[in-house]
Amino acid sequence: MKIDPRAGSPAEPRDLVDVGKLIAAYYADRPDPAVPEQQVSFGTSGHRGSAFARAFNEWHILAIAQSICDWRQQERIDGPLFMGIDTHALSQPAFETALEVLAANAVEVMIAADGRYTPTPAVSHAILTYNRGRTAGLADGIVVTPSHNPPEDGGFKYNPPHGGPAGEETTSWIQARANAALRAGLAGVRRVPLAKAVVMPSTHRHDFVGAYAGDLGEVLDMAAIRGSGIRLGVDPLGGAGVDYWGVIAERHGLDLAVVNQAVDPRFGFMTLDWDGRIRMDPSSPYAMRRLIGLKDDFDIAVACDTDHDRHGVVTRGAGLLPPNHYLAACVDYLLAHRPEWRPDLAVGKTVVSSGILDRLTARRGRRLYEVPVGFKWFVDGLLAGWLGFAGEESAGATFLRRDGTVWTTDKDGIAAALLAAEMTARLGRDPGEVYAGLTRELGTPVYGRLEAPATREQKAALAGLSNLVAGRGGGTGGTGGTGESHDPGESGGTRESDDRGGSGGSGESGGTREGTAPAMTGITELAGEPVRQVLTAAPGDGQPIGGIKVLADSGWFAARPSGTEEIYKIYAESFRGEEHLRRIEEEAQSIVSRLLAHQPTRD
């Protein structure tokens, strides 16, 4: 990736979005449902886009909100709907639009009191807390957020009764119905004026922050943090958790300072990300430049993205920890310091996360559960308690309560960030030091990511490699492959992410490490080493990874198309250093180009 010369520099007036024009475009501009880029499109985490591009406008939210109401009716989901919101400029108007539709459909909506923002993990926590012990009248939720995307973007995601991101069956249904509503000029969409919606008997105020902060001791050893005297610095990056950190500090007696309490929908306080754009990414050394500069003022400094589902951790010795480094430190620590967790639980990772997690779990005698990109694939395991930790390379993670029961089934940047303080308090070593110790024992991986141009047809071909390779008779990385997500340590499991909060059906045991024979694809060598696996489906659950992963003993690469841009991404890692990594990346590009060149053209 080409780094912009202004990356890491403070944002200037020319970088700031015109909020007035953006909101005006939200209300005034109507999407053309015949244009693919202007349709409703649920990616790995809801519908996202900019009002300027007619990709996130009032009509989109009216259509999506009504479709969610219709889905709830079809699935007989009739409990309360917990609704969260972040600080992006488009979030408030979208929140209001959605509330108008939800109220008109008599949905019992739970919103924060006093117009407070509500992070993603607080919504997931609220859903699961309400549904605990219930089999009927289940709750679900909506979070209005585009995550760490630039200020001009909006986002809207749905969390079913299981509390995590909706599965493909759900999102496909909602997406199709919403696009049909757009084509029909919003026929069938019910709506009441906002002034009426906010005072209707079905609209309730909920203490999200009190409930979430009060329960943090169930997932973290807050007494250890408090007793250690560790000084914590926190930058909410102007996000939805801005009011949460003070409550957490007061409730649990922590020495915690919020270094930036500003809320600005332009995010003018940010330093520019790698491409010269404003992006609230707590894993980016460019976006995190200010907090990194404060590392010597605190024992641990942390940040979260705009909806607080991602984390960033800064230590005095290591600076900003790359996400894979911190995930490894978390796994190593949790497996040794959660005695009430079941001894046979698994550790979850995505196919593009570091291979040090494979080595670490093997050393600990634990099972690894490797899934495609997308946190939805972890939901069932977290809910059932056989998945102790789930993490992805983009700095998203959650883990079980200390007693081994579910905490959240969506990413929790707050808990993940505070775990760094617990780790430091109990070990006397910060996460950077913990990771350094792991590399001395397990090797030092070097990780990289590249992007390359790709047409829409090439992206579709890359995503379809799973079907191509499977059709040639090779294995797909698991013995299941039927859409099942279940405990890989048991035969018989549960079907894919039951969005009503339970699991049903059965399937064959998955989770094998078998992959497509290298000879089947013609990929037999990678950077001088024999290829031992070519995966087009995830080893943990047998689900297609939407691309390809090639593994050798000392390194690997994975290639998958972007869901939002005309590019494909290559993730690569080497345990033999930078030069070996560069060679893997070069060969990966050649392999992907060759595979795409041999794909049949589509009519």
The catalytic residue positions are 147
572-596 burial: b if 16+ Cβ within 10 Å, else e: bbbbbeeebbebbbebbbebbeebb
Burial group, residue 132, by CB count within 10 angstroms (0-12, 13-18, 19+)? exposed
DSSP secondary structure string for all residues of 132-184: TT-SSS--EEEEE--TT--TTEEEEEEE-TTSSPPPHHHHHHHHHHHHHHHHT
Distances (CA, A) of 211 to 206, 215, 247: 9, 6, 11
Give dist(CA 283, CA 303) in Å, integer.
9
Q: Give me the torsion for CA of 535, 582, 280, 305, rounded to 10°.
A: 40
Distances (CA, A) of 389 to 55, 206, 406: 35, 28, 10
State both tokens at 341: 């967790």
Backbone angles phi, psi at 326, to 5 degrees: -70, -40
Closest CA to 29 of 56, 11, 65, 61: 56
Whole-angstrom Cα Rg for the chain: 23
Closest CA to 98 of 125, 69, 74: 69
Give dist(CA 435, CA 444) in Å, integer.
10
Closest CA to 325 of 302, 293, 357: 357
Give dist(CA 173, CA 245) in Å, integer.
37
DSSP secondary structure string for all residues of 395-459: TEEEE--TTSS-S-SS--HHHHHHHHHHHHHHHSS-HHHHHHHHHHHH---EEEEEEEE--HHHH
DSSP secondary structure string for all residues of 358-396: HHHHHHHT-EEEEE-SSGGGGHHHHHHT-EEEEEETTTE
Backbone angles phi, psi at 5, to 5 degrees: -60, -20
- Tokens 């605190």 -> residue: 298
